Amino acid sequence: MRLPVGDDEYELPQRRWWEALSVPGLIAAVAAMAPFFAHLTLNGQDYVKVGAGGTAILFGGIAIGWELLRSARGQAYRRGFGGLAPVLALAAGGFHLFTSGFAMPGLLDRSDAVRQILEDEGRTEIEIGDRSDDGNGYSFTARDGDTLCEGSVRFVGAFGTDDYQRFEQCGIPRPVEDLERDCEAGEGHACALAAARLRDADPVDWPRATALSQRACDRGERGECFEVGVAYGWGERGVPANQNLAFVSFTLACEGGTPEACLNVGVQLRDGEGVAADEEGACEHFEQACNANHVPGCAELGECYRLGRGRPRDFTRAHELLSRGCEAEAGTACANLGYLYENGQGVEANDAQAFDHFRLGCRYGEQVSCAEAARMQLEGRSPFPDRAAAVPELSRLCDSHVGTACTSLGVQLHQGIEGVLPQDRARAWTLFERGCAGGSAACCRNQSVYLTDGLGGQTPDPARARALRQRACDLGSRQACDELR
């Protein structure tokens, strides 16, 4: 290489390439290989990769600085590998850091960023867990509404970016013990969740479940008030039966928007169970349940209009509501619709339609409807010619405490059906007695008639007859009430 020196030129002596290799250049050459070595042996370890790339750049820079310093002193820049090594070190280190996304996220603690990501997704009760080996991933558990979630967040972008991947699995049930702890701390929703979880268990710990439902109800979870009402209404869920407390609980649940509770409030008001009877109030609650698309409420409201109790009698409105209930497979609605067709109320009288609706109600599980269909068959008002075949069915239903069946079969035995059912008033008395014991107002009144007139082998007993009329009146027989006046 020639260098101008004034008007002359000076030619530096040529050296072999190993003679041109300085100590910094040698170190830079080794450092140039460090990033690739890290890639091959410890790929994925960001701390090592960043260190290797940084080392390559550092020593490459030192080597270049050394050569520049020599150059500034008038010494020639080294040729060959000695001059190329620093350049290679810088290029290798820079390329490595660039292709690895600078790998800087792995050097930072980004747990706060993970927490913010999850909070933005609506997660609560967030707990950041272990960090991955490369420092870029974070495991977590969190709550999404009523369920637990677990997963991980992994940052995948270069330094200065917020790109990430989130993997999550939700639907993990919270342990009942955790829910109970939150319940004790005053969280009503946790009480409700714990109670529901216990109700789904097998076997059910009813005292514990009902106690949690009561706490939830007290803390404003009105849906659980319904469960408390059921417990007091049945007296089989860890608390003794108490119809008044059942009424109070159902009322709270109804106010909270549970239509089944509104229906139960209406039934208690209608029957005077745990509260003074109020037919108008009962119908209001039936209407509230019906307006919430609870079909049994519509069926009961239809009865208000059919019987004229709590609402003005309106057979057209009754037919509309009962039809709606029957179409939704409410057996009671089908049965009461059958009465409208049988009696020609709001529609043209039609025994075939009445029988079909009684059969339909029976199919949907309403035993009274089964009894009415059997009664029509026994009376010869059904498509089935074998009238006597209805007797075993009515007898079976009476034994199952279906009062309507006891009344129907007892009445036919009282008068007899020629060629079908011989008169048997002693058996009729037995059926009336069984029906009255099961709560049939009609059977109690018929018993009072037998004791008044001495029928069916009974000795006349006016005092007992009056007591039975009073029971029939209390059970809802207006005829018995009128007879007592």
pLDDT (tens digit per residue) in 214-269? 999 999 999 999 999 999 999 989 999 999 999 999 999 999 999 999 999 999 99
Write down the pLDDT at residue 113.
Answer: 85
Question: What is the C-alpha separation between 288 and 281, in angstroms, rounded?
Answer: 11
**Among the four given CATH numbers 1.10.150, 3.10.450, 1.10.357, 1.10.1740, the one describing domain 108-172:** 3.10.450
CATH fold match for the domains 108-172 and 206-422: no
CA quadruple 289, 294, 300, 301: dihedral, nearest 10: 60
Question: What is the C-alpha separation between 56 and 39, in angstroms, rounded?
Answer: 14
**What residue segments make up the domains of the chain, in order of their start?**
2-99, 108-172, 206-422
Residue 31 near residue 86 (C-beta atoms within 8 A):
no
Token pair belonging to 463: 């005092």
* Residue (of 188, 191, 165, 155) closest to 176 by Cα position: 191
* Residue (of 145, 144, 152, 150) closest to 111 by Cα position: 152
Task: Write the CA distances from 285 to 61, 289, 295, integer angstroms.
Answer: 87, 6, 13
DSSP run (H or E) holding 118 = helix 111-120
Write down the pLDDT at residue 56.
Answer: 56
Residue 81 near residue 88 (C-beta atoms within 8 A):
no
SS in 3 state form for 366-421?
Answer: CHHHHHHHHHHHHCCCCCCCCHHHHHHHHHHHHHCCCHHHHHHHHHHHHHCECCCE
Phi and psi torsions of 252, nearest 5°: -65, -40
Residue at 246: amino acid letter: A
Question: What is the C-alpha separation between 284 and 265, in angstroms, rounded?
Answer: 10
Question: What is the C-alpha separation between 38 and 53, in angstroms, rounded?
Answer: 9
Phi and psi torsions of 236, nearest 5°: -130, 15
Q: How far out from the chain centre does Cα 366 lie?
A: 28
Token pair belonging to 135: 């420092």
Write down the pLDDT at residue 154.
Answer: 84
Residue at 411: amino acid letter: V
pLDDT (tens digit per residue) in 98-125? 555 444 455 567 788 888 888 988 888 8
Tens of pLDDT along the chain (485 residues) come to 444 545 545 454 444 444 444 555 555 555 555 555 554 444 444 555 555 556 655 555 665 555 555 555 555 444 444 455 555 555 655 555 555 544 445 556 778 888 888 898 888 888 888 777 666 788 888 888 767 788 888 887 655 456 788 888 786 677 888 889 989 998 898 899 899 989 988 899 999 999 999 999 999 999 999 999 999 999 989 999 999 999 999 999 999 999 999 999 999 999 999 999 999 999 999 999 999 999 999 999 999 999 999 999 999 999 999 999 999 999 999 999 999 999 999 999 999 999 999 999 999 999 999 999 999 999 999 999 899 999 999 999 999 999 999 999 999 999 999 999 999 999 999 999 999 999 999 999 999 999 999 999 999 999 999 999 999 999 889 899 999 98
CATH fold of 206-422: 1.25.40
Unique residue bearing structure tokens 């050459």:
29
Work out the number of other CB atoms within 10 angstroms of the CB of residue 470: 16
Residue 343 near residue 317 (C-beta atoms within 8 A):
no
